Structure formats: structure tokens, C-alpha cells
Structure 1
Amino acid sequence: MSAWTRTVVVDGPEQTQALAERLGAQLRAGDLVVLTGELGAGKTTFTQGLGRGLGVREGIISPTFVLVRRHPSAPDGPRPGGPDLVHVDAYRLSSPAEVDDIDLEDTVDTAVTVVEWGTGLVEHLSDSRLEVSLERAVGADPLDLGDLTGPAEESEEEGEEADDAEPRRITLTGVGPRWAGGPPRL
């Protein structure tokens, strides 16, 4: 059912945000983005970049302590009047029925909805979705990048902590009619 899959490698959080910002500039109301990845892989960092690209108000944080947080379009941002960003943490939800209880269907058509940990829970909200999987090396286990190449450049910042400078593999998969035309330009 997927239309396409694209994988890119970035060097760390800044490039993760920059990639997501370019993607966010192309998203529109009704888009559903499902983020997966281990703790610390960069899901919230990615969402912060999406928010910048969408031009929503600052302040995107991990939604760990709230299930849903709405970030309105900023009137002085790059897309005034653009869609809001609805950021969801589905980590504590165990079924699509629990997703229905938080009323996402009320905003999914008018906002860009980003759901962390949403695989298997939110697919019923839309016939199209963008699945984004983030992978990051953990501890002594390096990230096997294989032959992947992407837009990543060497970091120029000195003094970055090793954890922050670790590469991330970001795999985007378009599912459904919205993404049938191919991947967005990144």
C-alpha cells in the first residue's frame, strides 16, 4: 500500500530539524505524520523542524506529559493562515479506540497531525499518511549506515557532545493517495 520510501542520513539534531523544516514547508492541512523511533531518536526534534516549516508558534516540546498539544499557525510566521500543528504522544495509548477518545478526528482535516508512537493506532484517521522512522545509534552500537547517502554535511560546530552529533537514519514512507505523486523535495 505504500507509494514510495526514501531514506536520508543526517549528522545530528540540527540537520534533523533542517530536513523536517523543508518537509514541513510542503505539508498541508489534513496531512497525518506518524513518527516512530526509540527514545532519544529525535522524534520531538523532527517535530520542532516541522513546526518551523509550517510556521507555527514556537514551544514544541515532547508531549510526554500531555497527550495532545495544538500549535497554532503564527500570524507573523512564514505561512500566516497556514495549518496548525497538532502534536500527539500515543505512547500511553493502547488501541485505536483510545485515540478516538482524544478527538483527533475533530482536527485531522484542518491541521497537520503528528503522532509519536502512533503505528497501529492512528491509521484509521486518514486514507493517507507519511510514516517517518528515526534511527539513532545507541550506546556502543553504531548505526549501520550501509551505502546510504543523504544531504548530510559535516558539522561545523565545535564542542558538540558525541550523543548529539551521532548520525540518524530517517526513513519516510508515503502511504495513500496524498503521497501517490512521489516523495516531497527534501
Structure 2
Amino acid sequence: MTIDLNSNSDADTRAIGRRLSGLLQAGDVVVLSGSLGAGKTAFVGGVADGLGIDEHVTSPSFVMMRKYVSGFIPLVHVDVYRVGSLGEFDDLDVFEESRDSVLVIEWGDAVAPSLPDDHLRIVIEITGDTDRIMRFGGHGSWAVRPLEEICE
């Protein structure tokens, strides 16, 4: 199942992330892709808000991984933009680090061969100065989860 949602602002993008958080559970993997400035980190901020995380979410571009534990489900936020190889990604051991958490991977297409079968892929496409189309596609068990709930 694929669902497209429109976002007209950073606030919309965060709100969509908050709505998705209601479907998330520990062990889930969400993969984000989109060009620089598309709103990936804003979306993760919305997910964090929805999970009850009170820390400010920032891009982990230079540290590669941040873990937020103040919510009712921890969040592991990974950015693989600067990862040089699949081996380097695998060395981060993000799946072990995040098994009790929701894992969100920015630029996740770069590490597609290492992704688990069960994951939610979200592509954020810039369509205007502040306008975005967010395309949600489920893989594995995500293919049958009720993604339409985020449309409400």
C-alpha cells in the first residue's frame, strides 16, 4: 500500500510525523529519503513529539546516531548521509541499538541492502518553496498496517 500526503509547511510535516507515531511500536524501522532541505528532520521531530519525547530533535548528520529516551517509546535517529559504505553502516549496529526503540534512518536508500524486510519507506519530494509530497510505502508487515490512519 502506498499513500501520498501533502505538506504545505514545516508545521504540516511535523504534524504528519506526530500522526504516524500513533502507529509505531518498539522495533519499527522507518526509512526516509528526500533531497537536502526536504523536511526529513522536521518529520522526525514530529514523530518524537508523538512518542512523548521532550528533547529537541536535531539532525545527527555529524554524529550519525542520536537516541532519545524521554518518551514512552525511545527513538533512535540515524543519518547515513556521510556513511561511506554498507560496512561502515553495519559497524554502527543500529538494529541492535534500537531493538527496544523506533528507528528512523535518514538517507536510508543508501543502505537499502542492510534494511530489514519489515520497514516503512517515506519519500519526501519538494514541490514548492514550502510544499512537499510525502509518499508512504510499507514493506513486509508494514504492507498490511493501517497507514490510512495517518490521513485523518
Q: TM-score, normalised by structure 2?
A: 0.90
1:36 and 2:26 aligned: no
Give the direction of change, closer, same or farther, for the CA distance of 1:67–1:127 in structure 2 (3 Å limit).
same
Deviation at 1:182, TM superposition (A): 3.9
Aligned-pair distance for 1:124? 3.0
Whether 2:138 is the aligned partner of 1:174: answer: yes
Residue of structure 1 equivalent to 2:73: 83
**Whole-Å Cα distance in 2 between the matches of residues 48 and 184 of structure 1?**
21
The CA RMSD over aligned residues, in Å, is 1.6
Match of 1:57 among 54, 68, 75: 54
TM-superposed CA distance for 1:105, in Å, is: 2.4
* Counterpart position of 2:114: 124
- Name the residue aligned to 1:7: 4
Q: Hey, which of these two has a bigger chunk of helix by percent?
A: 2
Equivalent residue for 1:151? none
- TM-score, normalised relative to structure 1: 0.75
Measured against aligned partners, the alpha-carbon deviations of 1:90-146 in whole angstroms (never above 9, x if no partner) come to: 001133221111121222321101010111415534221010111113xxxx4xxxx
Matched with 2:87 is 97
**Contact map agreement 2:80 2:110 (CA 8 A) in 1:** no
User: Structure 1 residue aligned with 2:65, among 46, 51, 68?
Assistant: 68
Larger radius of gyration: 1
The aligned residue for residue 20 of structure 2 is: 23
Q: Is 1:114 aligned to residue 96 of structure 2?
A: no
- What percent identity do the matched residue pairs reach? 37
Secondary structure of the equivalent of 2:99?
coil
Q: Contact 1:129–1:174 at 8 Å: present in 2 too?
A: yes
Letter in 2 for 1:18: A
Gaps of at least 5 residues in structure 2 are: none
CA change 1:110–1:90 in 2 (3 A) is same
CA contact (8 A) 2:5 2:135 kept: yes
**Inter-partner Cα distance in structure 1 for 2:50 and 2:113:** 24
The total of aligned residue pairs comes to 150
Cα deviation, 1:27-62, whole Å, max 9, x if unaligned, reads 100110111000000000000000001112321011
CA distance in 2, matches of 1:108, 1:184: 26
CA contact (8 A) 2:79 2:107 kept: yes
